Structure 1
Amino acid sequence: MNGVAVGVFVFFFLLVTIMGFAAARWRRAKALDNLDEWGLGGRGFGTFIAWFLIGGDLYTAYTFIAVPATLYAGSAVGFFAVPYTIVVYPIIFLFLPRLWSVSHRHGYVTPADFVEGRYDSRPLALAVALTGLLATMPYIALQLVGIEVVLQVMGLQAGEDASWFVQHLPLFVAFAVLAAYTYSSGLRAPALIAFVKDILIYVVIIVAVLYLPSKLGGWDSIFTTANDSFNAFNKENADAIAAGDAAPKAMIPPAAAHWAYASLALGSALALFMYPHSVTGVLSTRSRQVIRRNAALLPAYSFLLGLLALLGFVAIAAGIKVENAQQSVPQLFEQEFPPWFAGVAFAAIAIGALVPAAIMSIAAANLWTRNIYRAFINRDATPQQEARQSKLMSLLVKFGALAFVLGLPKQFAINLQLLGGVWILQTLPAIVVGLYTRWFHRWALFAGWAVGMTYGTWTAYGVPLPGDPDSHFGGPLELFPGAETTKVYIGFTAFLLNLLVTVVLSVVLRALKVPEGVDRTRPDDYTADLGDEGVEAEIDPHEPAHA
């Protein structure tokens, strides 16, 4: 453990802790006792704040560890995260302003709120809400995994001879701090902390991609070293690769992996803004124009992500040797930089976990409150009761994520998060298509969702880890039906099956004249903007909170 690195890390961690609690007074309403204020920050964030908030929400600590780790491990499709975060922004430019408009006019807080209002179906809304909760839990857990990786590299975790509690004490402290200021300040806390997180990340990555290549002989030398390393591995393990007991390593996907790369990128792009925490960040904005500006500005993070991914190759060239690929980038910073800058890098990654974990827990809590508690338990819940439920549930969700991290193998947590992408993609027909047309029948949507969820889960369960044929949830890819070597993203296949079932059953149910329910939205709801009837301006922090 290096005292300087730890000191810098602790300084920044204390800074964001203070900011997290102070956020309750930032842009303050008289009370945070309703979901508009606690869960959506008053629905008044402008372009500047939203850019940091949504960016901090999407580009998590685990992103900054897992993406370069996949390249360090030689995954041929590991670079898919960069094109998918580029593809996603033109998509959200089209549909998210419509979701913002209808949600602002009707007071919707979650995607499931919109689904219930559009299709007059509590079962379908419940399905969307439960899928969001199911997909979000392992995502929160992986933020804690990201923190734990940094603590391990820094030497802040006690050895195996220490008690279980002492070993995980630093993680407990980080968890307690996160839980406390999220409960106190709601969405304002991660919005304020995101400024520090994103600035630190940008500084660390830009310095790293400028300084490290100059130290290691330039990018040409880095790419050559990485490629030679992969070729040597493939040669030494040719028999195991042929038997399927090991995966070959490569810098560029071979022809057989092109469909895997493309379907993984497109499927992930379609899924990204189906996650409840992504929608929460968007609904906290002031106007449709804020969303459009952010869709144009957020690709700057994709540029950052591309630079970050290359650090996986840099770690190979620097001679980093770790059994857990997730430790490669933190270990790279510790080895190649002076302790004070390594401390800054560690703080950036850890804070990068706190921001999305807070937003995710808030989004999950809002789903529970609006679409389970109020829909089925207390239909006459007051705004104050809703806010109290969300605050308590945000704590429970974090406890569940912590138990997930401590009680299950890390590889299982990673693979279950990948499965989360498969699950959440199955809500797209009800949400995105529903923003444009109500032609899909509500029971057809429910059946399509059920088929997609079942197929995706069962198929993912049957994928073993390389070298362990008896294992499950070994990755997000499956063999394309009828192909011997070509693989595709399980979530994309499940999504296509979901759409097929939904379309066919919609035709059948419409022909049978099965009741479709009452649409509580109007066409002009989807284009309403700030200043229109029912669309309020930014909530004045000196006025009473709105119910």
Structure 2
Amino acid sequence: MKDVKGIELTIFVFFFAAVTVVGFAAARWRRGQTLMHLDEWGLGGRSFGTFVTWFLLGGDLYTAYTFVAVPAAVFAGGAMGYWSVPYAAIAYPIVFLVGPRLWSVSHRHGYVTTADFVRGRFGSRGLGLAVALTGILAMMPYIALQLVGIQAVLTVMGVTGSGLARDLPLFIAFALLAAYTYTSGLRAPALISFVKDTLIYLTIIVAVLYIPSKIGGWGHIFDASQASLAKPNPATGKPSGSLITTNMTHWAYGTLALGSSLALFIYPHTVTGALAAGRRDVIRRNAALLPAYSLVLGFLALLGYMARATPEVAQGVAKAKNPQLAVPLLFDHAFPQWFTGLAFAAIGVGALVPAAIMSIAASNLFTRNVYTAFLRPDASPAEETRVSQLVSLLVKIGALVFVLGFDKSLAINLQLLGGIWVVQTFPALAIGVFTRWFHRWALLAGWAVGMVYGTWTAYGTSSPTQKHFGQSIADIPFVGHTGYIALTAFVFNIAVAAVLTVLFRLLALPDGTDETASSDYTADAPEPPARERKTLEGV
């Protein structure tokens, strides 16, 4: 660590310390009688209004994946990296349709997790367990991706080395995150998201206005990027990419966008943020307001082209063999050190918020749908909360295993890998809020087929730097094109579930008991007193 950039690191550490203080202080923010209840610790008291929910969901959905992995994908392959922009646009109509219904039935029955709903809707603890384990598994690589973002900025600031010296700052960041998540629950990322979003918007606005003028303008950026992408990749002998998709990539682009849009709202952490809302209309408003973040996502993707058009940055990425460094190196090259430190803080804090929510969501799944459902059905609310707090620590350790054990040369694969798994819960969850036509055992069989096919196919993919799980696209059977593995697995999942549902209905196999009623899906919270209502609607 001989070349540590002191100004950048000092500003980064200052903001990191500030949000840590905020995280611990959040335990007293709008606190109920006790935090030892999953409604309080895991869902913030189910009382957040439009304003807080907008920041919380924004902090939840737009992560280090957005700030580091998306521009890295554009840097590495050009237009293919832009699949993330249409996927966000496709996802919000799904949120608008599914979100309010899921919030209503969860509020009426006290559901804390997606698996709670599935178990109650289909009368199947086994199906609920499958959804819970899938959600926990999908969270691991997604949390890992947030830690990759922190690691990238630390590397560019000169915090490097080998062995423990290289990973120690990451362990420290993990420990702080674990500590205030354990103490404050969902209130911590809710408060920190205000800081995170402010820093991100400031950084992106400055970057989009300032950097192009410094490196020759947009015309030069696109020309230089096209010329660079057209050069053969030494590992494959083919061009790295292009500014527009080609006939070879249309299917991959489209299936990545569509498959990811199915996954976005059924990720456990996204549902956790939504269920923390105080009223049904809060979800509807945010489904209409959150696309504003998609504009920022498009600007962020352009940073990949800016990095391509800056020779010093492109050479630095090539030397490190790590596209994740594209944006950090670009900021380090283009900005004065004090603003670079601010931008790095935006990335670091932008990783903390979703990592905290994801660990809470995963721990709630374990507590409610494994521990309480199968091991301790008579557990008290306080015991449930203690278990969830402890599991949230173990989840972060699991994410660290992903960080240290998987190739990070194209970290967006970590998010896409989680998508392959979580999309297999879409039939039971997102379709389940509208209809109970699918048989519970058919849903379980479809889920198993989708999970086995998706995992096995992803395992069989390779990249120049990784033998297994190297990509998230593969040949689509019977079609002759490549596409996102998650969507192919989802098609097999739905097909199996539909065929077996017809068969099981003919055989009159028991279908379980639905503990919900049609009126539950349009229910709202009781109208609070006028003064309290004004507070809820304002925040």
TM-score range, shorter chain: over 0.9
- 1:247/1:466 contact within 8 Å kept: no
Distance in 2 (CA, whole Å) between partners of 1:291 and 1:148 is 33
Which amino acid in structure 2 is aligned with residue 498 of structure 1? N
State the match for 1:457 in structure 2. 455
1:303 maps onto 2:295 in alignment: yes
- How many percent identity over aligned positions? 62
Among residues 366, 369, 384, which one is paired with 1:368 in the alignment? 366
1:154 maps onto 2:157 in alignment: yes
State the 1:256 CA deviation: 2.3
State the 1:414 CA deviation: 5.4
State the 1:3 CA deviation: 1.7
Q: How does 1:400-411 map to 2 (within 5 A)?
A: 400-411=398-409
- 1:21/1:185 contact within 8 Å kept: yes
State the 1:464 CA deviation: 2.0
SS of equivalent to 1:18? helix
State the 1:167 CA deviation: 2.5
- 2:360/2:392 contact within 8 Å kept: yes
Q: What 5-or-longer segments of structure 2 have no aligned partner?
A: none
Among residues 438, 442, 445, which one is paired with 1:444 in the alignment? 442
State the match for 2:259 in structure 1. 267
- 1:37/1:43 contact within 8 Å kept: yes
Q: How does 1:270-419 map to 2 (within 5 A)?
A: 270-319=262-311, 320=313, 321=315, 322=317, 323-411=321-409, 415-419=413-417
- 1:115/1:431 contact within 8 Å kept: yes
1:479 maps onto 2:471 in alignment: no
1:129 maps onto 2:132 in alignment: yes
Which amino acid in structure 2 is aligned with residue 170 of structure 1? P
Distance in 2 (CA, whole Å) between partners of 1:434 and 1:406 is 37
- 1:34/1:383 contact within 8 Å kept: yes
TM-score by length of 1: 0.92
Comparing 394-403 and 503-512, the one that deviates more: 394-403
Distance in 2 (CA, whole Å) between partners of 1:404 and 1:506 is 37
State the match for 1:48 in structure 2. 51
State the 1:76 CA deviation: 4.0
Which amino acid in structure 2 is aligned with residue 405 of structure 1? V
- 1:60/1:143 contact within 8 Å kept: yes
Distance in 2 (CA, whole Å) between partners of 1:366 and 1:246 is 46
SS of equivalent to 1:180? helix
- 1:246/1:467 contact within 8 Å kept: no
State the match for 1:229 in structure 2. 228
- 2:8/2:340 contact within 8 Å kept: yes
1:195 maps onto 2:194 in alignment: yes
Comparing 275-284 and 209-218, the one that deviates more: 209-218
Structure 1 residues 380-439: Cα deviation after superposition (integer angstroms, max 9, x where no partner): 010000010100111111122223323444359754542211110000000111111111
1:435 maps onto 2:433 in alignment: yes
State the match for 1:185 in structure 2. 184
Q: How does 1:69-88 map to 2 (within 5 A)?
A: 69-88=72-91
Mark the CA change 1:305 to 1:413 in structure 2 (over 3 Å): closer, same or farther.
Answer: closer
Mark the CA change 1:102 to 1:44 in structure 2 (over 3 Å): closer, same or farther.
Answer: same
Among residues 495, 499, 506, which one is paired with 1:500 in the alignment? 495
State the 1:83 CA deviation: 0.6
State the 1:451 CA deviation: 0.6
Which amino acid in structure 2 is aligned with residue 66 of structure 1? A
State the 1:247 CA deviation: 6.1
Distance in 2 (CA, whole Å) between partners of 1:75 and 1:464 is 20
State the match for 2:96 in structure 1. 93
State the match for 1:509 in structure 2. 504
- 1:412/1:473 contact within 8 Å kept: no
State the 1:478 CA deviation: 1.5
1:257 maps onto 2:249 in alignment: yes
Among residues 511, 519, 538, which one is paired with 1:524 in the alignment? 519
Distance in 2 (CA, whole Å) between partners of 1:476 and 1:247 is 20
Distance in 2 (CA, whole Å) between partners of 1:281 and 1:408 is 28
Structure 1 residues 325-367: Cα deviation after superposition (integer angstroms, max 9, x where no partner): 1001001111110000000000000001100000000000000
SS of equivalent to 1:426? helix
Q: How does 1:167-178 map to 2 (within 5 A)?
A: 167-178=166-177
State the match for 1:118 in structure 2. 121
Which amino acid in structure 2 is aligned with residue 229 of structure 1? S
- 2:323/2:410 contact within 8 Å kept: no
SS of equivalent to 2:432? helix
TM-score by length of 2: 0.94
Mark the CA change 1:82 to 1:416 in structure 2 (over 3 Å): closer, same or farther.
Answer: closer
- 2:78/2:305 contact within 8 Å kept: no
Among residues 461, 485, 493, which one is paired with 1:490 in the alignment? 485
State the match for 1:545 in structure 2. none
SS of equivalent to 2:77? coil
Distance in 2 (CA, whole Å) between partners of 1:167 and 1:496 is 43
SS of equivalent to 1:42? helix
Distance in 1 (CA, whole Å) between partners of 2:500 and 2:254 is 29
- 1:416/1:473 contact within 8 Å kept: no
Aligned length: 524
SS of equivalent to 2:419? helix
Mark the CA change 1:424 to 1:30 in structure 2 (over 3 Å): closer, same or farther.
Answer: same
State the 1:482 CA deviation: 4.1
- 1:141/1:413 contact within 8 Å kept: no
SS of equivalent to 1:478? strand
Distance in 1 (CA, whole Å) between partners of 2:405 and 2:473 is 26
- 2:409/2:465 contact within 8 Å kept: no
Among residues 37, 40, 46, which one is paired with 1:37 in the alignment? 40
Which amino acid in structure 1 is aligned with residue 60 of structure 2? D
Distance in 1 (CA, whole Å) between partners of 2:470 and 2:59 is 28
1:210 maps onto 2:225 in alignment: no
- 1:71/1:309 contact within 8 Å kept: yes
SS of equivalent to 1:168? helix
Structure 1 residues 261-282: Cα deviation after superposition (integer angstroms, max 9, x where no partner): 1111011000111110000000
Comparing 257-266 and 183-192, the one that deviates more: 257-266
SS of equivalent to 2:483? strand
State the 1:305 CA deviation: 0.6
